[in-house]
Structure formats: structure tokens, C-alpha cells
Amino acid sequence: MTSMDRNKNAENLRDHPVVLGSGVMPFTRYRDGSHWRDWVRHAATEAIDDARIDPADIDSVVVASESDFCSLQVNPGPVILDDLALQGVPVVRAEAGGASGAAALRVAVHQIRAGAAGCVLVVGFEAAAGHLRPQDLQLVYSLSFDAETDGFAGATAVSLYALSMAEHMAIHQTTAEQMAAVSVKNHGNAIGNPWAHKPMDITIDDVLASPMIAAPYRKLDCSMASDGAAAIVLAHRDAAPATTEPRSRIIASAAATDHARLGDRAERHHFVAKQRAAQAAYTMAGVSDPANQIHVAEIYDAFTGAEIQGIEALGLTGRGSAGAAMAAGQFDREGTLPVNLSGGLIGQGGAPGAVGIVQAATIDRILTGRYRCDTTPFKDYRLGLADTHGGLCTTSIVHLMEREEP
């Protein structure tokens, strides 16, 4: 490596945004009269306090929410700025279905790396679970696919995910018991998580006895719709306050897409967009062996099978082997590569505009030893992955985060 190469690498390292702080309004169904603006205010204020900055230090805001149908607010950015007394600060909104929060994070990363902002507040929210009927919410989510050929024709998220996973089971002999292990793990990981919607102590038999929704998915194979909000503050290191504590930095942000219609895909059981996004992220970060180099991951688990499909697409196991590895405990809390210590969407809950942000907040706190220290023994995790997608992995976004010492 030449001196020029070393200098270039050092400059690139300095451009990686660091995480200053985060905040979360717990995921649940709010029927207490509170409003999504209250949740956003709570999460954003907590993140700013955690970052130990003054609101005046923020020079850009990125907002994420999946659907105006749910929030009943078009252009929520200026409303949020009013509530946070940040009038005059530039604001944009990012939307990518279930990956909306991750898309907002990606916008903030690019703003900082491009020199367009020094300190960015990213905030995501969703308001649907507490005020919409399940059938109405199901219709809105069905429009995440091709609305003309899928959503309006009656196809739902669970039916399309079920078709994809049924093919995976036929090709790779993935079993219902292996999928149930995801549910047991993620509901169990959510126990003790103050942000979680559905912590549960359940067994494989409990999952297999739960009602069938769309074969092969039973009720306990499915994540739930949640209300909630999350916020995170990113900064260029030159704009970050001095610290004597470890921080995390985002060393890769990558995205990719696949056909919107499941039937147009050559491999309906494999998440091609996730594989593409992951490979791009690994290239950016210099990761050549993700299964051994990545220490902890938050993976988008809209359904139990989707976590298995995601693990494979991310290259954390070989294709067709994630189910067996799951049953063997490889991705458990004490496994070789813990996945969804938060509980994921299945245990922590699914508020699409906030999911990608709370994933990053979780990985940051795990890497820096601040995550649920009373219930989660700290391990020397140094490289973490946050993965989300929209539609049936139609849009995929992958972030890699690395611990850095002060």
C-alpha cells in the first residue's frame, strides 16, 4: 500500500458518520389518546439528550414514515420541525415501505459523507396499529407490492411471503420446526427489552399449535403491526463533541432492488435484492467473510421464514442451510452470531418508519456496551449489521456498523 493509499483510507475513515445518540418511543398499540407527534417528540428529544448536543447543532433532519394513509399527514417534516423547535433546518422525507427508516438513515449517511451536513437527526415513526382496523391496515400494506396486479387483486403481504417461503421449503427442505425456532428466539429475546411490543416465553409446540394464517405461516410465525417512533443522531467526526467513551460508526450503506411482482423473479424463494445490497456493503467495508467477520445482526423478520431467507441472502450461511443452523442455536443469544437480540419485528414489533432506525440504535448500543446492560451480558462485539427491506424484499437496505475506541 502506498502512502497515497494510506492517506486516502484515513480520509475515508474520517468521513464515516459516527452515532452520537438515539431515542425510542416503545413499540406497541397506542390507544391512550397520544398522537404520533407525541411519540416523535419523545424519541427525538431522547436522542438529542443521549447525543449530548444542543438542538442548534443539528443542521439537517431526515424523516421516515411508510404511509400517509396511516399517519393522515402529508409532508410531516415541517410539522415535526415545529414540534422540535427546529424551524429553518432543512428536512426531507424518505420512504421505502418497510425499509423507510433505513432509507432515511442512508440519506443521512450520504449527506454527511458529501459534506452537505455535519450533524443530522434521523427520525422515523408509524401510526397505524392503534387506530386502523386490521383489514384496513392489511389493504394498505398490500399496496407495498404492485398495487395494480397484486394489492387490488386481493394478494396480501402474508400470502405473498407464504408463497415465497413455501418454495424455499420445497427446494431446501426447510421445516416448520426450524421456522418456529425463529419465533421462539425472537419473542424470547424481547423479554427485558423496554422497547418491545410482544415479549413472550414460548415453545416450538406453541408456535406449531397457533392458528394457520397462510400456509406455511401460523400466527406466531408473523410479526405484528406496531405504533412507535425512533430517532438517531449522526455526525461527521469533525462535528462530533469530544468523548472518552467508545462510539460506533457506519462504515457501509448499500441498497438494491428486485422485481416488484414475485412471479417475475427467477428465484422466488431467494432474496436477490438483499444479496446484492449485502455484497455491495461488504465491498465498501472490506468484509470478505461475513459469516465469521460479523459479530451481531438485526435482520428484517416480517415472518419467521423471512429471517431464514435473509440470513442466507446476507451470506451468513450457505443457501439452504439457515434453517438447520437456526434449529442448532447458531443465531441464539449465546450462539456464534446472535441475530435479533432486540426481538426483531416478531418480538420487538414492526413500525415501518422506525424499524431501520431502531435497528441502528440497537446495534450502536450493543457495540458500545450500552444495550440493556442489566439483562444482556456485554460481549466484545465490534462489527454489526442492520438489514431491512420493503415489499417482499423488493427494496433492500444494508448498513454495517463498527465500534471505534475514543
- 245-287 residue pLDDT tens: 999 999 999 999 999 999 999 999 999 999 999 999 999 999 9
Is residue 1's pLDDT more than 60? no
Beta strands in 29-151 (DSSP E): 60-64, 91-94, 119-126
Beta strands in 241-287 (DSSP E): 247-257
> What is the model's pLDDT at position 136?
84
Question: What mean pLDDT comes out for the span 381-404?
Answer: 97
Segments making up each domain of the chain, as ranges: 3-131+226-239
Could you check whether the bond before residue 241 is cis, i.e. omega within 30 degrees of 0? Answer: no
The three three-digit cell numbers of residue 254, written as one number = 448499500
Is residue 6's pLDDT more than 60? no
**Can you name the residues that pair with 247 across neighbouring β-strands?**
404
In percent, the amount of the chain with pLDDT more than 90 equals 86
> What is the model's pLDDT at position 10?
42
Give CA–CA dist 78/205, Å, rounded: 49
* Residue 57 CB partners (closer than 8 Å, separation 6+): 119, 239
Does residue 309 or residue 374 have the better pLDDT?
A: 309
Is residue 8's pLDDT more than 80? no
Evaluate whether 228 touches 39 at the Cβ level (below 8 Å): yes
> What is the model's pLDDT at position 5?
42
Does residue 146 or residue 119 have the better pLDDT?
A: 119
The burial class, CB within 10 Å (0-12 / 13-18 / 19+), for 54 is: exposed
pLDDT band at 13 (very low <50, low <70, confident <90, very high): low
pLDDT band at 376 (very low <50, low <70, confident <90, very high): low
Tens-place pLDDT, residues 183-238? 999 999 999 999 999 999 999 999 999 999 999 999 999 999 999 999 999 999 99
> What is the model's pLDDT at position 375?
58
pLDDT band at 12 (very low <50, low <70, confident <90, very high): low
Question: What mean pLDDT comes out for the span 275-303?
Answer: 98
pLDDT band at 4 (very low <50, low <70, confident <90, very high): very low
Helix-then-strand count for the chain, H and E: 15, 11
> What is the model's pLDDT at position 374?
57
Question: What mean pLDDT comes out for the span 95-120?
Answer: 97
Question: What mean pLDDT comes out for the span 329-348?
Answer: 97
> What is the model's pLDDT at position 334?
92
Tens-place pLDDT, residues 32-72? 999 999 999 999 999 999 999 999 999 999 999 998 888 88
Nearest partner of 342 among 366, 319, 309, 368, judged by Cα: 366
> What is the model's pLDDT at position 36?
97
> What is the model's pLDDT at position 69?
84
Give CA–CA dist 124/63, Å, rounded: 6
> What is the model's pLDDT at position 304?
98
pLDDT band at 133 (very low <50, low <70, confident <90, very high): confident
* Mean pLDDT for all residues in the chain: 94
Provide the 8-state DSSP code for 233: E
Is residue 78's pLDDT more than 70? yes
> What is the model's pLDDT at position 308?
98
Evaluate whether 307 touches 182 at the Cβ level (below 8 Å): yes
- Domain 3-131+226-239: CATH superfamily is Thiolase/Chalcone synthase (3.40.47.10)
